[in-house]
Amino acid sequence: MLAVASDDVPAAISALRAQADSELDEAGRRSSSTVIDLEAEENTCPGCFGTIQQGVARCPECGLRVG
């Protein structure tokens, strides 16, 4: 848990994001920003960046559970 003054929240969020980004490689940054929309016809798997069709519970390429 992190406690900061209300006025410092934007700066704290920026600092935490910068720290997290510095610890990830390019694939990690891409993966962490991938959003799964369960109602979309297609999604990108955050694990392997393969294509996942709507209604599929696991990525067909890497098996990551997404639904």
**Mean per-residue pLDDT over the chain, rounded:** 89
Q: Is the pLDDT of residue 36 over 90?
A: no
Q: Check the CA dihedral 32-37-40-41 and report its sign.
A: positive
Q: Which DSSP category does 67 fall into?
A: -
Longest dimension (CA), the chain: 45
pTM (2 d.p.) = 0.60
Domain encompassing residue 25: 7-53
The reported pLDDT for the residue numbered 26 is 83
Confidence of residue 41 (pLDDT cuts 50, 70, 90): very high
In a domain, 42, yes or no: yes
Residue 58 lies in a domain: no
The answer, yes or no, to whether residue 58 has pLDDT greater than 90, is yes
